[in-house]
Amino acid sequence: MIKRKVGALFYYTIAKKLPASYSGIKVGQTLLRRLCGKLMLKKCGKGVNIEKNASFSYKVSLGDYSGLGVNSKIYGSCTIGDYVMMGEDVTVITRNHKNDSVDIPMLKQGFDEEKPVVIGNDVWIGDRVIILPGVEIGDGCIIGAGSVVTKSVPPYCVAAGVPCKIIKQRK
């Protein structure tokens, strides 16, 4: 628990604000953010890339050679496989507000139970994708920029849109 707090302290005070890995400025930002990830995350594989301004839960498992994109936000439990590319401004949500009763304001109804998100291996997630609770994205998928993924996507599919729909198979 202490290592998570130390990692979070370094990440949120220094590393998060350093330039993106693709910027012309090299000050060790990739290595520092990787170190913070190893301290903070449930699992952090080798060769990972956590980009500038990424926010994430300690419940995230990040596979080998995978990345969290610039300004990405991952709330709650999320398993990300190996070799996953993530664009900028990706949001992963693992729970929603309750809205069962019309007699009680939604703000006072609390939250649904967390539904973990699973992202397979060798997945490419485009910029500004939103992934909703309980979704599984299979191995080898490509999710088009701006998509809202409301349902699971089987392996080796190209999917895009709002809501996200399968456009074609890669195999």
> How far apart are the C-alpha atoms of 28 and 96, rounded to whole Å?
37
Beta-ladder partners of 131:
92, 149
Detail the DSSP E strand segments found in the chain: 43-44, 49-50, 55-56, 60-62, 67-68, 73-74, 78-80, 85-86, 91-92, 117-119, 124-125, 130-131, 136-137, 142-143, 148-149, 157-160, 165-169
> Residue 151: CB partners within 8 Å, gap ≥ 6?
135, 163, 164
Query: CB–CB of 82/61 below 8 Å?
Result: no
Beta carbons of 117 and 77 less than 8 angstroms apart:
yes
Which among 5, 17, 97, 151 is annotated as catalytic? 97
| 80 is an active site residue | no
Q: How far apart are CA 33 and CA 15, in angstroms?
A: 6
The one-letter code for the residue type at 58 is Y
**What residues are annotated to the active site?**
97
